[in-house]
Structures are given as C-alpha cells and as structure tokens.
Chain A
Amino acid sequence: MDDITLSARQQALLDRFLHENKLFYAPDPSIMENHRIAPRSELEERLLSQPLDRQKINELRGLIVAALDESHTMIEQMGAAPGAKWGDMTTAIFTAAGDLSMIAPHGVGGFAAAVFYPIKFIIKHWIPEPTVGVREGDGFIHNDARYGGIHNTDQSMMMPVFWKGEIVCWLSATIHEGENGACEPGGMPAAAESKFDEGLKMPPFKVVENFELKRDLVTFLQNSVRDPKLQLEDMKVRLHSVLRLRERVLKILEAFGPEALVSTLRVHIEDVVTEVRRRIAELPDGTTRTVSFADSTLRENALLKLNMAITVQGEKMIVDMRGSSPELLNRSINACQASFKTMLFTGFMQNIWPDLPFTMAVFTPFDFIFDEKSLINGSFDTPQAMSLIPLFKTMTIACIPMAKFNYSLPQRYTAMVAPQYDQPATLIYGGLTQHSEYVGNFCADINGMGQGGRSHRDGEHSVSPPFAAHCDLGEIELMEEDLPMVRLGAFTLARDRVGFGKQRSGLGYEQIHTYRNSGLWGFMTGCSGSLFCSAQPLFGGYASPTYPLCKVKGVNVFEFLAQQPEALPLDIVRIMNEQPIPGASYSTHDMGMTFELAAPGELYMMCQGAGGGYGDVLQRDPQLVMKDLEEDLISDATAREIYQVIYDPASRVVDEAATERARAAERQARLARGKPYDAFLAEWQTPAPPAHLPFFGCWDDATVVYGVSMGQRVKMDGKALSSMFMLNPKDLRIAELEAQLKAALARP
C-alpha cells in the first residue's frame, strides 16, 4: 500500500477534501514555530521601494505611540483585575500581516510579543472560513498559550482596522486577569495534571460583532470562572480601550492616508531587524553557554535543567536549548516554544538591548534549536498553566552568556547586569471575601524582584518583575479593602539574603500574610528555589540564597495580638527562631505549595528574592559594605566573613590596613585550597547524575537527556525524548507511611 501514487487531479481532490473537512484547528506549527516577521506584502514592497519621508514616519510613530499610551491608560484606570492596577497589561498595534509593530510605552511587551501568534491564526484560518470570517467591527478573544501567549491567565482582545474594505492593521489589548476557572483559584494551578485542569482554554474566537460584545458568549465565559464580575468588566475594558485606539488610528488614516500608516508600521520593524543584525555582527564570533536549574515541579522537588548555548556567526545568532529537561506530562510547568521565545525576548529587552523598540522583530535574525518534547518546547497535550517556572528563568538566563559576548564591545548599549531574581515569589489566594464574593487571584509582590549587581553599581532592591520595568507593587490598603487578607509585615528588605559581590544584588523583601473575616480562604505558592539557588551570579559573584515558605499554624494571630500587641516581631527570621506565639506550630516548606485552606489568623510568610551578585566579594569597596550595614541590608557576620572588612563595630570606621591584610590572607587561602582544573575535574565530575538527585536534563553530553518517569530514572536520546510521568506525591507518602507501619508491626 506504500506505493500508491496519486495523479494531479486526485491529489487536488484530496487536498480540497482535507481543506474542507478539517477535523480540528489545533495550534498551527507553521505559525507557532515561526518567530520572524512576515515577508513584505505587495503593498509594503511597493511603498518601501520608493524613497521614504522619514520625517513623516517619525511624526506618525509619535501619534501612534500617543494613541497606544492613551488606550493603555484607559485600562489602568478602569481595569478590574489586580494585575491591571499594577501595570500588568498592554495595548499594541500590528501590521496587516499580524507582525507586532509598537506597544504602549509602559506596557508589558511580552503580552504583545505573544499576541501576534493568534492574530496570524485568525488571518490564516478564520478569514477564509465561511462560518467565521473577519468583518469590520469584529473582535476576537484569546487566552490559550498554546496558540500564543505566556500563560492562560492573560486574556486578549484583538481587532482588525479596515480602511475602504481592506485590513490595514490589527490592534490588541491584553490584561493578566488571574482567575480563569482552573482547578485551583487564581489562574495558575500548580495542581493541574492535564490541560483539562487549567480552566478556560480559548483559541482565538470572535466575541465582538458590530463593535459590541456578544452577551451569550460572555455569559458562557462568566459561567466558566469563579469571578464572573471580573470576566465581564475586563472584557468591556479591553474592548473599549481597543475601540479608542481604533478611533485614533482612523484619525491618522484620515489625515495621512493608509499608505503612510502601512509604511510606518513596516519600516519600524524592518529598521529594528537591520539594527539587531548590526549589533550581532559587532559581537565576537563564538559560543557562550550557561545552565540554569529549577528545583521544583511545584508538586515535588526535582532538578530541572535549562541548557543554553548561544552562537554568534557574523550577523546570525543561534540559540540552542538542546539538552534541557524533558516535558512532564502530568505537571503544569511546561511551556511551548513560542512562549519561551517571547519571554527570552522580554529578557533581552529588559537587560541586554533595553534601548531598542519593543517589537518581536528583534528576534528575526535569531535561529532556535530545541529538542522536541522538552520542558520549554512542550507538546500540545502538556499542561502549561505554571509555565512561569521555566519562563521566569528564561527571562534572565541570557544575561550571563550575553554579558560574555557584550563585555568586549567598545561601545555598550547598557550596563552589564547579573540576573534578576527569577521566580514568581508571590502568594496566590482564593476564597470568599468579606463582601461575600468568590475570588481567586495573586498578589502584586510578583513585581518586587531584586535586580542583579551591575558593572558600575549595585542592583536595585525589589525593583520590578523580570518581564517589565514599570510594574509596581500595588497598595496594601487597597488590597485589604477588597480582600480579607492582612499584611502584618510588608516591604521590609530581607537582611542577609543578598547576591554578594563586588556589586551586590538588590534585595527582595519579606511578606507576612494572614487573613480574617472570611469563612473560606486559602493560599498557594508557585515558586522554585528552596534547595538550589535561583538567581545566578556574574563574573565571580555569588547567587541569591534559597528561600523557604514559613508557616505558623494552629493559632489565630489576631487573638494573640489582642492580648500581647508588642510580643510579635514583624520579622520572619525572628518569628521562626523565637517562636513567640505559644502553642503554635512553626514549619518551613519548599515554595511549591498547591492550594490549601487556612484558618483565620494563621501566618504564611515568604520573601521576594535577591538577584545575582556581580564580581569578586573581595573587590567590594569597604565603605559600601559599611553602607550596607547602616541600611540593615547585611549583618556584621556578613561584613566580616564574606567581605573580609575589618572595622570598629561601634563607630563602623573601617581599618583599611587590617582589611587589606584580611583580604590578602583570604586570597592566599584561596590559592591554598584551590586545585588545578584538570586535577579537580578528575575527582569532581561523575559520569551520570548522582542517584539521590531527581535530575532532568543532559549531564556531560547535550544529546543525552536524563529524566524520571514513574519513579524510575530514564536516559534518552535528545532527538527522541519521551514525556515524563510523575507519581502522585501523596501516593508516595502513603506508601512510605505504610512501609514504616509494616516495619513497626514486624518488630518483636
């Protein structure tokens, strides 16, 4: 049967049959695996072949950016989602082919850099589909990251702009909504064991006709989530911000004509491609490499490797991620390659080329290589609701290999910076509020990561998330008006939890959460980095520390405070070490906690993290160490033992000569304990990961990948990875306890 050959007529018939009888419009690999801008359209080719009026293009660019700013501000002012209040959204404009051209000047660019995928899906599949079509006044909604996106909490509104019957551009508005009807509240379920546990999974579909929301579809979506008010409100907000943006674009079309707009949108991205090619070409040719490890699947501890090699060849940059962890079929921390590219791009825009316009065209000169079925090239069937675990690392991972390319440049575009803290260290919550409303969402602390140390100065404290510089931390008082949560401690920088270095990292801060006035409330965290340090250092600094989740249970802190208001120190380390509340249970846990209900007045405490340190600690200016002491960022023990600074503890006057002697002695101690590399390697390196480590990823050869499936270690060819299937941690715990019981009963 293999030798059937079809005639041209039969082939045409078969093609037509398949085209007309498509079973399922799954994500289209030809769209999802193509991050490059489309070739010029005929119109673009004609317009851009002529001499361009750069002055006019700049004028239009200004008008478009102002319009984007205005529509973005509308969302900030009106959006109901907590994320909208802190800046976790954007509006954007795309070419007629769907390529991202410009975003709002203080928007989250990653959203727009992911939305071009569903727009291209609409163009390719829904325009020619007679039951759908695209007409003036239509708007499309989308949230499923498999069709483009970062994760399914982000909902977008996409709308074409017509001019005399033709689409001239596309507009979008995206908000991190949070709640989406998943198996846990808040939209980022760590407990999801399949994609069907993830809540709403919207491929792009039409939800607006004649510029109005279709109420039947809105009702369906409201009926699918815990917070129907939020769903309705923000669908209206996204629609009306896009409509305002459309009004402004129509004014531009009326004033300047469609050709000027089309030229501007296209030239803007082509100029970026040209500039990026120039920047790559001025880097040294060669390869730089790094590795990054997450230590949790959010259900169990596991060492999950991201393996990155970046190669520069002339004007081309190749990002090779082969050898990274395999995908986990029943854990929610997988990401598809489009999400990975978007977040890597976001990191480039924050730390490496922050001066470039925010358009995905930056990556057009890039090639990518992945293993199929890897954690960051996850297949369609994998749950991806907590893709943030690899994706937060993705945003910072390129800092190290790119610094090793960029350092030599005679002219730099920005400072060298060690990686920012790279895990979403925030509390996710859900339950019934004091206003008798069911909600589920997350706290703004996700935006408070410490920055890495920089080539010319220390990192900034709790500065921003790694995906956007402007997002803020919200107002605790506002949160407490809406929610039963109470923050007993907030924004106290976490002393001694620093990426030490010549230039130290910025610090994260402590969060002490509890709640009252609710009969049903609970928390979850979705974060790794409790066993293995998260934010990696640069050029000989040290990493961030590890961070546990701390709980104080079995007690109502409000009752304790009513009796002894002065007796509770608002400091996590003191609470845990001094255990001031009698009868309470104090415990530490890793930072991957699936949703659990809490009792009123119980404490859940965590830290936002520090970035990586930059450079040798012995080169840190002793006066800066004293300043750190004055600001209570470090302890005396750190000043003496890590930085080797000798000073009078009372006056904090540095003894320069004694400090230099101490540092010289430490350098001699290094020479005494260090071993030549080859000799060290002979005793250090093992042929395979140690048996005690649940290790996922390559070891010494990027083409051979390890994993753990059904409790057994597996070794695979990187070209033929299998999906890993994890055992239920509760089943494992039950088996462990049963074995203990059996052994105890067997004792005479």
Chain B
Amino acid sequence: MNAIEIRGLSKSFRGMYAVDHLNMTVPVGAIYGFIGENGSGKSTTEKLICGHLVPNEGEIKLFGREYTDAGVRVRVGALIENAGCFPGSSIYQNLMMQAINLNLENRDEEIRRVLKIVRMEQHASLKFKKCSLGMKQRVGIAMALLGDPALLILDEPINGLDTDGMRIMREILVDITQNYGCTVLISSHLLGELEKIATHYGIIRQGKMIVEMSAAELEGRARVFVSVKTKDLVGAKTALKAKYTTVKEEDGYLRVYDVDDTESIVEYLLQNGHVVSEIKKNKIGLEEYYVELMSQPTAQKEEK
C-alpha cells in the first residue's frame, strides 16, 4: 500500500495547467522530498492532496482510500504556505482549536506533547502574532502533528529560516519521522537540507513529474568523479581531456567524471608534467543531480 498514489492529476487556472497529468507514488513510511522550481506545481499538488483545490481530472488515493474519505483525512496533518493560526490568539489557544477540531481526548497533554517536539513548550502563552518566522513554522508543524497523523504534508517548512532555525527544523523533522513513523511529503528548495532526511524524491517540472526515485536509486544514478588540483589547471585539463570523456573546471578544481581510480589520474598527470597537489573521490549530490536534470531539454528528461 502506498501513502499517496496519484494518477493523471490535472489542475488548471484560467486555462493554464499548474498540474498536468501528474503521477506520483509515495510509499508508506517514506520521507518524500518533492522538488521543483518556483511555479512548477508543488504547492498546487499539495493543496489538491489536502482537498483545498478541486482537480480538473485524475485520481488521488491516500492509504488506498479515496482522498475525500473522512477516515483518512483526519489522519492528515499539513503545513501549507503558513501555519494557519489566528494571530490574536495564543499558541496554546490555536493548538487547542485544532485539538478540538480533531476531537482529541487529553487535549492539554497532547498540546504539551507536540509543543515539546517542536521545542516550544516555554512559549505556549505567546500570541501567535508575536512569534518569529521560525517559531511560526514550528507552530505550524505542531498543528500538523496533533492527533497522531499518518501523513504529514509540509510545504517549504525550512524556507526563510536563519541557520539556527534551519538546524532546529531539521532536527524536528528527523525526530518526527524517525520516532513517530509517519509518512512525510516535504517540498523544499533547500536540496542540501532535504538530502539529509529524504528516503524518496520526486522532481516536478511544469506540472509534470519528471522523475521519481528512492534515495538508494539516486545514489546508484549519481555520477562519481575525481577532483584534482594542480598549479596549471588549463594545461592539466587539456591533458586529461585527451584521455577522459568528461572533464570540467569547478571552484578551482578539475573534475574528471565517471572515474574513481585516483592513482591512474595522478600517474597520467605526472607523465604529462603536472604535479597533483590535491585529489579526492566524489559523488554528485541531489543538488547537482537536480541542476543537471533541469539543464536538459524537457523531452530528454521525460525519456529518463
């Protein structure tokens, strides 16, 4: 069973497709990193899953049930665009409203529990409008966590946060996914952050899903390369290009792609009169994979 299964989902606004016959599969228990450029259709897809938007066509199933099923929807927690809290009410009051909405028993206990998870237990009485951006995002996560959700949908929860806020948010996300075991769909532009926690990825462009893969598949697909530093980068590059297919200069290093034999590179460069001052093996990360994918023409990506 999949937590989310979407087939042929479309949504248009004034004739323009924001989501265009999208297919998506999120396995139960996954932390699904949903990646795409601004306006690629990430938020629209998330809003469609949450029932905020009415699709033009397509099918959405959550845990094998229709997404309109009341039983499954009470187990969905979402943070979409903002926390959805009343600014004049305190954090506690906002959480209490959501706890009442979900018909939770032991509401006070449950509120304290989620506040502890998001490290906000000291700020329960603070008015929501007095919270910083990072605090607001954490309150939003707390709202989504109320009532033991089976599926969490988080739209850009890290964006706009400072370094410390980002660290706290990452710790919270790791905590809730590892210790509370719910499926998480998380969209973010901060791929480095996402790479630390995601088990699956979906890359969307112009409303279409380009590629879906697990973190293990990404690892398998990732190109290996060797970074080399020499005094004469231009000369070394010319020499390497004569033997290796792809050689690029990046941040003062030469990258020799699809090779992991460092010894042969050092030996080859020495034979050509270049002394290697630094050399290391590397693998392309999510960010580079994404950039590479986005730089290809659309048709080629769809073939992939």
A, B bound: no
Q: Footprint of B on A, CB under 8 Å?
A: none
Q: Footprint of A on B, CB under 8 Å?
A: none
